[in-house]
Chains A and B, each alone.
Chain A
């Protein structure tokens, strides 16, 4: 098996930053990314076959992403980037199994930085499985990366600043946006302004997007959310209305109707922790940053020696935090490998640490505003599908609880939720919260749908071929 001094998994902002810092310090680094080009979700590159006709109007994400990609390129040959490579398993701490097309192989990482990002949190409500219902992230991929309108008239609902971004992008692409529904309260209140002091960039962004909606005449309703999507073969009508400002309980009697063919839902993100879990890292639950996250120290080290976790995959905090965390891990890995003296490493970490500190107060505000509240659990009715893959209704979960199921694992076996193709990635966060609420148990007691390999789909043929290679060696 090949051994690499450092492997970074995930080519989003955090992973790129980690590889850049490690490479600058002279540490041989392999960056594995499942996308065709580095960038992650936020800095997702255009398809290679597309040609950009000037970055004007493509926005700052594009510009920032290109800048990071350029820095990454400059670190070659210390950093080798392999795209279209999915890491499907981590065993015995730092042994990686990767798959790419029909090929597969193993790499032993002396140090491993996991920068696996986050996914959209799925919140079930009646009709959420209809075609035309897209996550905020999914809508962004369509409109931002592929420049395709996913519908003609949209309602955008959920929580967090991303809603404004998506609404602007849809509008600019020519999709009519009927309204934006934010389940939480206004993002920036006077009392919170001092905490944001100094983070002009973020304030300016928020302002820009807000202005964008205003000039487009798109209404933004706080403490409102989607109740139900209706339609025969796709979304035709959406019911929405107010939620109580504290717990976000839907006031369904005050529902209103709007005719749209696109419903974009963005209820924040959930860290992708599968690989860290398989590596044996300890995890803890923190609902402010998306749920289960790896336990880390201030240098991004997990509980498994030589394994680091950075970016949204270690707790959802956005791109600015992700980049600084990546830098710290990359520098620390180089220090650990003996390429930086402790003093040099501390010097290099200092700006990133200062930046993280400055961002901390903003994070607290945003975390508090966007944290998912339990009222959203009331959106689903007994007949609502809570597991999209296995088509399990909420009533089946209620039956499982009646039958004595007290954790996700037993509920899974009883109902088959989480046993489908997505392996619980969609349903686990929401159902975990549901069980916590209904059984009055802590997240740790309710447990998880334990991640198992392969964390990305791989065929039998590919895995079988891996054995032959091993035997030939």
Chain B
């Protein structure tokens, strides 16, 4: 069974929301941020740093440090700790600065 680090009790979370992390489907809850959803599922490695290729994940948790950035719905460099989950959201663990879709269709 998938890991769930959510603490029971005291609060009732929002409605369940399905998101995709890579090709893995995760259940998060409305009101949660992407960082929370991933950490709750035991995912800590959010990106690989551009210069040294080291694993990185949330550090400050409040939008200051930019260490939790990853690719969300095709846009790289998005702060996971400042982005709320949305149904159907596609989250990708980001290598270096990610891949930008620069060509116009």
Contacts and interface: CB of A to CB of B under 8 A. Distances in A.
A146 B44 contact: no
Interface string A308-328: 000000000000000000000
B7 A174 contact: yes
B52 interface: yes
B11 A50 contact: yes
Interface residues of A, number: 52
Q: Which of A49, A143, A457 has the most CB of B within 10 A?
A: A49
A388 interface: yes
B62 A147 contact: no
B85 to A, nearest CB: 10
A131 B61 contact: no
Contact of B57 (A57, A120, A132): A132
A129 interface: yes
Which of A132, A134, A146, A389 has most chain B Cβ within 10 Å?
A146
A46 interface: yes
Interface stretch (A102-110, A206-214, A421-429): A421-429
A122 interface: yes
Nearest to A46: B11
A148 interface: yes
Interface in A273-326: none
A391 B14 contact: no
A147 B66 contact: no
B77 to A, nearest CB: 7
Interface string A20-61: 000000000000001000000100001111111110011000
A183 interface: no
A425 B79 CA distance: 15
Nearest to B15: A49
Given A47-B32, A50-B31, A138 B61 contact: yes
B58 A138 contact: yes
A133 B39 CA distance: 12
A355 to B, nearest CB: 28
A41 B57 contact: no
Contacts of A422: 64-66
Contacts of B25: none
B55 A234 contact: yes
Interface in A144-185: 146-150, 152, 173-174
A403 interface: no
Contacts of B10: 52-54, 57-58, 147
A146 B59 CA distance: 16
B50 interface: yes
Contacts of A137: 60-62
Contacts of A140: 61
Nearest to B30: A49
Contacts of B39: 142, 148, 150
A53 B65 CA distance: 33
Interface in B26-73: 29-33, 36, 39-40, 44-46, 49-52, 54-67, 69
A286 B43 CA distance: 39
Contact of B45 (A53, A119, A234): A234
Contacts of A468: none
A52 B32 CA distance: 15
B6 interface: yes
Contacts of B81: 138, 141
27 contacts: A34-B63, A49-B15, A49-B31, A50-B11, A50-B12, A51-B12, A52-B10, A53-B11, A54-B10, A131-B55, A132-B57, A137-B61, A137-B62, A138-B59, A138-B81, A141-B61, A142-B61, A143-B7, A148-B36, A150-B39, A152-B5, A174-B7, A233-B55, A234-B45, A234-B57, A388-B65, A391-B49
Q: 6 closest A-B pairs (Cβ-Cβ)? A: A138-B61, A47-B31, A49-B14, A49-B31, A131-B57, A421-B66
Interface of A: 34, 41, 46-54, 57-58, 119-120, 122, 129-135, 137-143, 146-150, 152, 173-174, 233-234, 385, 388-391, 420-422, 425-426, 456-457
